Structure 1
Amino acid sequence: MTGINRTGVNRTTDKRLSCWRALLTAALAAAWLTASVGASAQSIMPRAPEIAGSSYILIDATTGHVIMEQNSEEALPPASLTKMMTAYIAEVEIDNGNMSYDDLVFISEKAWRTQGSKTFVDVNSRVRVEDLLRGIIIQSGNDASVAMAEHIAGSEAAFADLMNQHARALGMENSYFVNSSGLDDDGNTNLMSARDLATLARAKILEHPAHYAMYSEREFTFNGITQANRNTLLFRDPTVDGMKTGWTTQAGFCLVASAERDGMRLIAVVMGTASEDARVVETQKMLSYGFRFFETYKLYDAGEVINSERVWSGAQNTVDLGIADEVLITIPRGRADDLVATVETDEIIRGGFEAGQVMGTVQITLDEEVIHAGDVVAMQSVERGGFLRRLIDALTLFFMGLFSSDDN
């Protein structure tokens, strides 16, 4: 049979088309389902864990972004967290060249008699600054704190004034100091907020990194007496490398901790918990939440070009616009593709400007929330064009304006 059964051919073709339509429909449905599930999974963000403390805060140390907080601006007794400021001032003095680790500090009777946790310095002896600093940070030595205060400022009262000045310079708006140790002083006590403590911790880490390694040391031996670091998180979590504990009856159990995982560093502060174990457990809750659901994301490299713009009346026709300094932000994990950048510049850019001159702004939003706002700068200098260039561009802009007016 040489003839073609067109009906058969048509019927076969119809079956093939139906099969392809079914496959295509299934594929599209699967793709839609996958996208929907992916989007749904990506947008899932649990609420922050409840923390059993008077106040707390969790920040990204690199960006300063607050991930979670509660009563973070309330001024509360910080107990030995005070010593973070005492150590900070010592670190500033060292980095400014006003003293060194090897300087010898005279131990007064007042310092020697100071009660509470001790480094066990001997009265009328001389102790190296480095040993006192370790005594303050690792052993939480009240005697070491008073000795350091007297060495730097002459008296503890004068040092407290210095502490308050440094607090104001750092923007610590809810802190007030009367002594260097955190002990109750005849009914007067130091006051600090959780936010201020996070600010101080961040300044220590970013501005005086050479001293930060001391906060991770697990023990310190002085005068034949070995004492373990009171920050027990150092022994529980290998990513934790600082910072300081505190306790008094009035303050409760407090802790400032910092940890780094996969290039992200967090600072957690909890104040007024019920026990030594509780402050560790509550801090671990915050750190786990922050690391699991957030990331430090590099938005722009230093000097990164983000677009080019027309230059009028200039020696060149275009200029690259970009970001002067590296920009890092904190965002929920997996949301980088959802960031929206809006760049605003002058409608007309004329030649005659230097590299680095601000030419506009860039705003980054996520779900309509502003995550970052910063300047956009010229990446090159552009001189004014010659007379003929300026004349041609002036006429061009004039006629463009006329046509634009006609269109309106």
Structure 2
Amino acid sequence: MSAPHHDSTSPGLRAAFQAAVLAVVFLCAALHVGAARAQAFQSLAPHAILLDTASGTVLYEKAADELMVPASLAKLATVLVAFEEMTQGRLTLDSEIGISENAWRKGGGVSGGSSMFAQLNSRIKLSDILRGIIVQSGNDAAIALAEAVAGDEATFARIMTERVRALGLPKSVFKNATGMGDPQQRVTARELALLADHIIKTYPELYKIFGEREFTWNKIKQQNRNPLLTMDIGADGLKTGNIDEAGFGLVGSAVQKGQRLIVVVNGLKTGRDRAQEARKLLEWGFRAFETRQVFAEGEIIGEASVFGGTKGRIGLKAKGPVSLLLPRGSTERLNARIVYRGPLTVPVQEGAEVGRLLVTRGDVKTLDVPLYAAESVEPGTLQSRAFDALMEAATGWVRKVLKRS
């Protein structure tokens, strides 16, 4: 069971956090967040991450940005493309997907891998194809979907990569729709967690398929391969994976008392290890953290310099309140900094994304929040622009001198 959450922050923590962030624009300010010894957690998984979806707080990470082999975890991107195709009106749940000889031989029952056991040359509704991919991890279903959308699997894989790039995930590369081994097909645990978060929030109705316990096709009943679904911990998705190069992996999500966590583990030696490590991470996350709000909605978080405008500085704010989860009774320090490419050039439009608030807790990249201009800034007078140009030139000269010294 999860512990109750607290949506307010003590005046001392709030003041310390705000003072640290407002002190300078590029900063690393140490923040005390408690008085007792921090809770520690170690996972056996070579790659792992635990994410709170409401605040975006990373509760735990281990080699979360290192490239790894996804195996069938790649099918999350396969499903993403299908969901987006439906949103664009190019597919519906009733669309019929043909099972080619390539899909049947490469991914069907004759292949020896995970399969939906679709019949050669049959046509299957997309609603069933999705269950074949999600519940049964069917390679035949994934290949058939790829061919229906893009004509061939290689083209579909390029689309998969393009779609995750559009979500701001720069590292993951897909080479097929199934997760079968390929030397160039790699992902990171962090990007899988963010991909899962996007699917859950963007397609809540379609996401329900991930929680279905079993699916029968061609008179063959298969259980959902996600072991978390039977553990009575609030799990409702997402996907498992396993090939020799990857080990055993899982992307899972669970909800307790309105809080949703996403866990990713990969590289484990057995399916039992995979299930135990994912469960331990989720249970620890629900139990060991409390929510603190550090900035209210609309509150100025920091400032950015502006070049050539009617104002030399502009306030930055998030789109909503900024909260994060902290270990109960922790003595760990938070390091906060605002990052932007500056000075900003005019015109600057109110609401434009211009920077990010980055918060770390030890080695954990705890929070990454987009920051937006709190107001518009128009070009200044010719005299003010000339002065700004002179100051920027001088600042650049000082930077070069310091770099050489």
Range class of TM-score, shorter chain: 0.5 to 0.7
Shift in CA distance, 362/103, structure 1 to aligned 2, threshold 3 Å: closer
- Residue 179 of structure 1 corresponds to 176
The Cα of 1:324 is off from its aligned counterpart by 7.5
Q: Which has the higher helix share?
A: 1
- Residue 222 of structure 2 corresponds to 227
Amino acid at match of 2:76: M
1:56 aligns with 2:48: yes
Consecutive unaligned residues in structure 1, runs of 5 or more: 1-38, 307-320, 341-355, 379-408
- Residue 321 of structure 2 corresponds to 327
TM-score, length of structure 1 as denominator length:
0.67
Where do residues 254-333 of structure 1 align in structure 2 (5 Å cutoff)?
Answer: 254-298=249-293, 302=297, 325-332=319-326
CA distance, structure 1, for counterparts of residue 196 and residue 128 of structure 2? 21
Q: Quick check: 1:156–1:179 contact (8 Å CA) kept in 2?
A: yes
Structure 1 residue corresponding to 2:123, chosen from 126, 130, 140: 126
| Residues 298-338 of structure 1: per-residue CA shift (max 9 Å, x gap) | 556656899xxxxxxxxxxxxxx9978432422226689xx
| Residues 197-246 of structure 1: per-residue CA shift (max 9 Å, x gap) | 11211111122222111111111111211100000110013311111000
RMSD: 3.8
The Cα of 1:160 is off from its aligned counterpart by 0.9
Shift in CA distance, 101/42, structure 1 to aligned 2, threshold 3 Å: farther
- Residue 394 of structure 2 corresponds to none
- Residue 353 of structure 1 corresponds to none
Mark the structure with the bigger radius of gyration. 1
The Cα of 1:42 is off from its aligned counterpart by 6.0
List structure 1 runs of 4+ shifted beyond 4 angstroms: 39-42, 296-306, 321-324, 333-336, 361-378
- When the two structures are aligned, how many residues end up with a matched partner? 311
Structure 1 residue corresponding to 2:190, chosen from 186, 192, 195: 195
Amino acid at match of 1:195: R
1:43 aligns with 2:36: yes
The Cα of 1:370 is off from its aligned counterpart by 10
- Residue 217 of structure 1 corresponds to 212
- Residue 112 of structure 1 corresponds to 104
Amino acid at match of 2:207: Y
Q: Quick check: 1:264–1:296 contact (8 Å CA) kept in 2?
A: no
Q: Quick check: 1:247–1:253 contact (8 Å CA) kept in 2?
A: yes
Which structure has more relative contact order (CA 8 Å, sep 6+)? It is 2
Consecutive unaligned residues in structure 2, runs of 5 or more: 1-31, 302-314, 335-349, 376-405
CA distance, structure 2, for counterparts of residue 365 and residue 270 of structure 1? 23
TM-score, length of structure 2 as denominator length:
0.67
Amino acid at match of 2:191: D
Amino acid at match of 1:47: A
- Residue 139 of structure 1 corresponds to 136
Amino acid at match of 2:39: P
The Cα of 1:174 is off from its aligned counterpart by 2.4
Residue 41 of structure 2: SS of its match in structure 1? coil
Q: Quick check: 2:229–2:236 contact (8 Å CA) kept in 1?
A: yes
Identity level (%): 38
